[in-house]
Amino acid sequence: MITLNHYLVLSGLLFSIGLVGVIKRKNLLMLFFATEIMLNAVNVGFAAISNHYGDLSGQMFAFFIIAIAASEVAVGLGLLILMYKRKSSVDLDTLTTMKG
Amino acid sequence: MFETVAFYLFSVLTITSFVVVVTTKNALYALSSLAAGMILISGFFFLLNADFLGVVQIVVYTGAVMALYAFGMMFFDTTETLRESHANPRVVFVLSGMIAIILVVMLIAPIASTHVSALYPMVEGVGNSEAVGMVLFTKYLIPFEVAAVMLLVAMIGGIVLAGKKMDESLTTSEQGDVK
Amino acid sequence: MEKYLYIALFAPLLGSLTAALFGARPKTLFTGLWTSGLLAVSWISSILLFLHVYADPSANVVHVKMMDWISAGNLSIPFGFVVDQVSVTMMIVVTTVSTMVHVYAIGYMSHDKGFNRFFSWLSAFVFSMMILVMSDNFAGLFIGWEGVGLCSWGLIGFWYHKQSATWAANEAFIMNRIADLGMLIGIFLIYWNTGTLQYNEAFAAMPNLEHTLLITIGSFLFVGAMGKSAQFPLHTWLADAMEGPTPVSALIHAATMVTAGVYLVIRANPLYDLIPEVGYVIASLGAFVAMFAATMALVNRDIKRIIAYSTLSQLGYMFVAAGLGAYWVALFHLMTHAFFKALLFLGAGNVMHAMDDELDPFKMGGLYKVMKPTAILMILASVALAGIYPFAGFFSKDKILEVAFNGDHYILWGVLWVTAGLTAFYSFRLIMLTFFGDERYKKLGFHPHEAYPYMLWAMAPLAVLAAIAGFFEHAFVDFVTTLLPSYEFHTHHVEMILIAVTSTIAILGIATAVIIYKNGMLHPKWMERPCYKLFTNQYYIPQFYDAVFSKPYKELSIIFWKQIDMKIVDATVDLIANTFFNIGKDTRGVQSGNLSIMLRWMALGVTMLLTFGLIFVAAATLLG
């Protein structure tokens, strides 16, 4: 039987995979991909809980997360393109201007 | 039975494609794996009786967001492999490994509580889309409107950021001035 | 009468403070006149107090308590002053010599840039000395003791840009400090065992203490006296203190500061009466110093040093008297010695001024023709020093020799007797070499001239006192022995013989000196004799001190500095600072501007939060 725990564990695993990508990736675009993974993982979690309790709130939450993710991608890609035009690179290590 | 098989199938596929996204050196592979993963996630939503959500996932995420990423990818040379330098590769896996373990440990524990009562309960006989619509436009109206405004702002922002020659107005200038 | 006490005490302080206001300015004659005037006021107050106390010694002692100083629990130390027979004698001596020296110094220091500063220091010194002699408790005595030490330092090192002067000042101060440690221990012991530092109360409680304790107290107090009065082995500073200006030598190192040690012993006579064995040690040491210093003065080629060694020698005489219980004799000799020694120094100052600060008597000679008044005054002082009738030195010195003979201390008497001869010899050696004989200075291009007349007039009262002070011996004895114990002489039958014997050797000494030095210098072959070398190098004691004390101490200091201070203390402080600095430097990487690194830190934060959450929830469910 597939219980809520299964879905939650799956959500957690997906989330950590996204986290690995966020930490590991040096290319900004790849970083965005990893962020998408994390958002999706959370969506799965919300939907699972909503199904378990018979509550529509979880689905609404996931719904809004999708909306927000879409707008975030739009703006983020716009900024990414601007930065690429300015710096000719999307590698994180070369984009550092602080001396550290 | 059906649910179990579907669950495990989808989960294996999803995890595999997301791992590919995270670890591959080819940007194109990452993009395609991400798209695949999104579709499979919508499969989960269908499994969880969230029909409307699943469809929205396919349309918005896989359709719009991935298309946006695809357009973004056009700026870069996708044939060459990504060169990423890592100062300390072990840190990555240690950190995420720890987080994964902790999350799994937290989530395996039986945490279902009996005191939770549904705020917007699912009613029998009503289809998912209908139910979502009813709740969305009545109880969640204000967040809905705010989300709409946010999407508008994002759209305008995207245009402003990526557009060129914004000073000149195509509509008010004479035909001969436009080059 | 009390107002005279305060006037006598604070007039020099007022002079010093006002002169200090002008300290950095070039010479203003006003400071010299003002301080001398205030000292004259103090002098007159002292004389008035003296007449008051003299009228009725037992009843008219003036005792004031100015204010409470320390009042903590059982310890109560007031600022109290007493004018009794001993202190009024000392006050008269101090103020007389100080006033004359002040007036003299107006002329002596007239071309000096530090004129104002000099008078400030000089008056401050007199103030400290007055506190020392007028205080009625050991703490006040110690305040004055330290004050004179400080002012002596400032005055010896007055020409501070001269390396030798600052070295001599430091030597004097440090040696005195070492001795002061002994004195402090003595004072502590007195307080601990008697519960009070007031003279009368402490001395009243002393017969009840046990004997070894009294010996300890007496010895420690004498250690302090040894430093101030430059007894062996703490004597090297006195000769080196001649680096200071001559008025300083006249005031401090002849008449006042060096006699503070003798004053201490005289003041503590109830204590020393109880421990005659310590007194005998003091007397023996005094006799040794007398002979010791006289030998060094025999061959010295520096007029001020000769006179300094002479002071040292006479201090030995005073300690012999005080050690053997004849306190009034010591006080009497202190008084007469102050007059003629100060006179000698001032005269030497005149000679130095005339000879452009030249100190070697072998470069002088025949100055009598040019500086008659100075020569006469110095001859007078030297005759007084040698102890020839009718001058003051005769009375006081003879009394000391009688005291030594009286107690059957024949060795002491013998040493003092030979020293008397040596004293006469070297005093007149100085006179002959400086004032008579060939005029060696002419070949060396000096143009001596007599000193200003008012300087000579300042020296005149001292000369008069040196001449006639001896005749007041009886009045003095009757006056002082109302406080001090009188000394029983059992030698009345041999008194005249003793006087004759003493006078003989003094006259022999004078005659020998006159004959040898009539025509100039000593035969050069004398200078190669080992004892000559020994005397000239001060028995090699300064070299000994340097090798045994100074150099190891310096090495020790360097070790402490380099090894302990720099390596341990500094390293520890630096370690603390560096720790913080390195922590900052290492954690600077957290804000590197590199997005990837910042995301990693974020993930680390999430890990920690999750861990804490897990632990918290698990604990809550397990316990609750």
* C447-457 residue pLDDT tens: 777 778 888 88
Q: Is the per-residue pLDDT at B115 higher than 70?
A: no
pLDDT at C457: 85
Q: Is the pTM of this model over 0.90?
A: no
* Minimum CA–CA partner of A100 in chain C: C592
Residues, chain A: 100
Instruction: Judge contact between C401 and C417, C-beta under 8 A.
Output: yes
Rounded (5°) CA angle C185-C186-C187: 90
As a whole number of angstroms, the longest Cα–Cα distance in chain B is 74
Domain range for A45: 4-88
Q: Is the per-residue pLDDT at C127 higher than 90?
A: yes
Mutate to test the interface with A, among C599, C601, C609 (most CBs of A within 10 A): C599
For C307-357, what is each residue's pLDDT tens digit? Answer: 999 998 999 999 998 888 888 888 899 989 999 899 999 988 888 888 877
C593 chain-A contacts, CB cut-off 8 A: 96-100
Mean predicted confidence (pLDDT) in B148-164: 86
Mean predicted confidence (pLDDT) in C3-8: 87
Q: Is C585 on the interface with A (CB under 8 A)?
A: no
Query: Cβ C592–A93 below 8 Å, yes or no?
Result: no
Which positions ≥6 away from A25 have C-beta within 8 Å?
A31, A33, A34, B22, B84, C596
Instruction: Judge contact between C102 and C49, C-beta under 8 A.
Output: no
Check if the interface score ipTM surpasses 0.85: yes
Q: Is C613 on the interface with A (CB under 8 A)?
A: no
Q: Is the per-residue pLDDT at C24 higher than 70?
A: yes
Structural domains in chain A (count): 1
For C482-513, what is each residue's pLDDT tens digit? Answer: 777 777 777 677 778 888 888 888 888 888 88
Question: pLDDT grade, residue C97 (50/70/90)?
Answer: very high
Q: Is the per-residue pLDDT at B173 higher than 80?
A: no
| Tokens standing for residue C124 | 């401050």
Mean predicted confidence (pLDDT) in C129-154: 91
In a domain, A96, yes or no: no
For C236-273, what is each residue's pLDDT tens digit? Answer: 888 888 888 889 988 887 778 778 889 999 988 888 88
pLDDT at B167: 67
Mean predicted confidence (pLDDT) in C408-416: 85
Mean predicted confidence (pLDDT) in B170-178: 62
Can you tell me whether residue B166 is helix, strand or coil? Answer: coil
In a domain, A47, yes or no: yes
C-alpha–C-alpha distance, residues C230 and C186, integer Å? 18
DSSP β-bridge partners for residue A91:
A27
Q: Within 10 A of C71 (CB to CB), how many other CB atoms are there?
A: 10
For C278-316, what is each residue's pLDDT tens digit? Answer: 888 999 999 999 988 888 888 888 888 889 999 989 999
| Tokens standing for residue B54 | 């699943």
For B7-44, what is each residue's pLDDT tens digit? Answer: 999 999 999 999 999 988 888 899 999 999 999 999 99
C-alpha–C-alpha distance, residues C226 and C241, integer Å? 16
Mean predicted confidence (pLDDT) in C110-118: 85
Which member of C603, C613, C617 has the closest CB to residue B95?
A: C603
For C57-71, what is each residue's pLDDT tens digit? Answer: 777 777 888 888 888
* Minimum CA–CA partner of B92 in chain C: C600
* Minimum CA–CA partner of C598 in chain A: A23
Which positions ≥6 away from C215 have C-beta within 8 Å?
C275, C277, C278
In a domain, A97, yes or no: no
pLDDT at A100: 59
Q: Is the per-residue pLDDT at B112 higher than 60?
A: no
For B71-88, what is each residue's pLDDT tens digit? Answer: 888 877 666 666 666 667
Q: Is C592 on the interface with A (CB under 8 A)?
A: yes
Which member of C603, C613, C617 has the closest CB to residue B96?
A: C603
Question: pLDDT grade, residue A91 (50/70/90)?
Answer: confident
pLDDT at C107: 87
Which positions ≥6 away from C336 have C-beta within 8 Å?
C384, C392, C393, C395, C396, C466, C469, C470
DSSP C411-461: HHHHHHHHHHHHHHHHHHHHHHHHHSS--HHHHTT----PPPHHHHHHHHH
Mean pLDDT rounded to a whole number for chain C: 85
Mean predicted confidence (pLDDT) in C127-145: 91
Query: Cβ B102–C607 below 8 Å, yes or no?
Result: yes
In a domain, A27, yes or no: yes
Instruction: Judge contact between C419 and C314, C-beta under 8 A.
Output: no
Between positions 28 and 67 of B, the ones with CB within 8 A of C are none
Q: Is the per-residue pLDDT at B149 higher than 90?
A: yes
Q: Is A22 on the interface with C (CB under 8 A)?
A: yes
Q: Is the per-residue pLDDT at C404 higher than 90?
A: no
| Tokens standing for residue C187 | 């004072």
Instruction: Indicate which CATH number applies to the domain containing A45.
Output: 1.10.287.3510
Question: pLDDT grade, residue A46 (50/70/90)?
Answer: very high
Q: Which of B51-60, C406-415, C491-500 has the lowest mean pLDDT?
A: C491-500
pLDDT at C547: 85
